Chain A
């Protein structure tokens, strides 16, 4: 990190590299785009596998995780995720007792980012998300939808919305806009294992999904109909419900191993009018103790003969205090990029998460160092 203090908040403050000019600013911005937006969304939290919660819908309404919590998920945030417990305050909106047919939540996130690249230093505060999510259940049918503003431009829209039909404890079908089941879906959407696979923030697709699960594992098969611009508020076109991009199929098979571990494999094939993408992957959460576990998610890119993945080892020295060492790599036969990181993640009490991450990434223009602080509040 640069030792130069920022002249003005939220602006470029140092471009003293000899090559600094408008072109390099653009380059640096490109680098920034690669490392920024780290903050973690209320997505699936596969870390909870360490407590025996290998199945996402133990805590989330969504069968593949992420988004609004069910009542039990709120209970777990008090029971073992947060440093300070408060079963009552862990409820939606700090104490709202909702009927069993209603789940309500929402997320607000903001990130403070510092980046040191060969071209200079950058400090930036990024508002990332402020939304609400509702899930209504009638019998075996659940309808869920988010609505809010996202990203620096505070673009309004719904990133996730679906109708879910549960067929007993073992089967479900779902249609709507959400991430297809593939890999671990860690909370960090900038992880190579997500971003390089097309699961970055806002890249939810329009899908039809079938899934089955039991005490030994789960299987999800998703038919993907494109990366939707669905329901994005566009001042010129109104609410656009067209889909665009690649369509195909994804499948994920996971086995729950031992007391609190899982291993799985995934495949996805997507095609557009001018390209094909086929990826195969494996992932794992291996728990030594509830306070020490390893996660990994790696994929092979068939057409590119490339790969991308993320591995981490996490220790929880005190409840709600997680320290992770993260190693990532991506590459092809002629190119390779590596990123190492160290993160501190704090869950002081229900509804709040604070994280700090330091990273070093090798890029074509040289090493890029970043330090990211993120504040996440969920309702």
Chain B
């Protein structure tokens, strides 16, 4: 009986130590087209997911619907969604975070990014700001297109998108 009580007490403590946060926010990306170094800005991505905080560490999954991105030019959007990302078959990207410190300020993270059916290691940095039980964070990571050969090399009439795409996530994680 005492053993059962002790187990329940431990479970209770564990449950209290683990917090779950619901994530919402915006995702944008910047790519460069060469020759000419033209800037391609993707906007409109919405991030969602959950983060679990256990003690001083956080992990979780974030997803973004790829069809929501717009670059300001319809034809380019069409190529991005239908020809390269094939959002009909692969509607979302998923970032799975390995445990990272739950602290304010600069935080480096590692994880895995799933994109168009392929998963590759990903890493980046966040600037976090806790406020009244809620976390605000601005995170960046680089996506190397060559890590996802199934996407292909985005190219149109002699202009090719450069290898590295900068992704920016501005999120809010609330209980």
Inter-subunit contact B74/A79 (CB<8 Å): yes
Which of A51, A53, A78 contacts B36, CB < 8 Å? A53
Q: What are the interface flags for A45-61 relative to B under an 8 Å C-beta threshold, 1 for contact and 0 otherwise?
A: 00000011111111100
Quote the shortest CB–CB distance from B107 to chain A (angstroms): 26
B9 interface contact, C-beta 8 A = no
- CB contacts between A and B, total, < 8 Å: 66
The distance in angstroms between the C-alpha atoms of A53 and B73, with both chains bound, is: 12
Q: What are the interface flags for A143-164 relative to B under an 8 Å C-beta threshold, 1 for contact and 0 otherwise?
A: 0000000000000000000000
The distance in angstroms between the C-alpha atoms of A72 and B155, with both chains bound, is: 10
Contacts of B41 in A (CB 8 A): 52, 259-260
Q: What are the interface flags for B32-56 relative to A under an 8 Å C-beta threshold, 1 for contact and 0 otherwise?
A: 1111111111000000000000000
Q: Which of B18-26, B110-118, B156-164 contacts A (4 or more CB under 8 A)?
A: B156-164
The distance in angstroms between the C-alpha atoms of A190 and B17, with both chains bound, is: 72
B75 interface contact, C-beta 8 A = yes
Contacts of B152 in A (CB 8 A): none
Which has the most chain B C-beta neighbours within 10 Å: A74, A79, A214, A260? A79
Q: A72-B159, A100-B158, A259-B41 are in contact. Are A52 and B72 (CB under 8 A)?
A: yes
Interface positions, chain B 48-95, Cβ under 8 Å from A, are: 72-76
A116 interface contact, C-beta 8 A = no
Inter-subunit contact A72/B156 (CB<8 Å): yes
A241 interface contact, C-beta 8 A = no
Q: A71-B157, A72-B158 are in contact. Are A79 and B35 (CB under 8 A)?
A: no
Q: A51-B72, A260-B41 are in contact. Are A58 and B33 (CB under 8 A)?
A: yes
Which of B36, B39, B156 contacts A57, CB < 8 Å? B36
Contacts of A214 in B (CB 8 A): 37
A80 interface contact, C-beta 8 A = yes
Which of B32, B39, B74, B158 contacts A70, CB < 8 Å? B158
Interface positions, chain A 68-112, Cβ under 8 Å from B, are: 70-72, 74-75, 78-80, 85, 87, 100
> B residues within 8 Å of A by Cβ?
32-41, 72-76, 156-159
What 10 A-B pairs are tightest by C-beta distance, nearest first? A58-B36, A71-B157, A52-B39, A79-B75, A72-B157, A55-B36, A75-B157, A58-B38, A72-B159, A259-B41
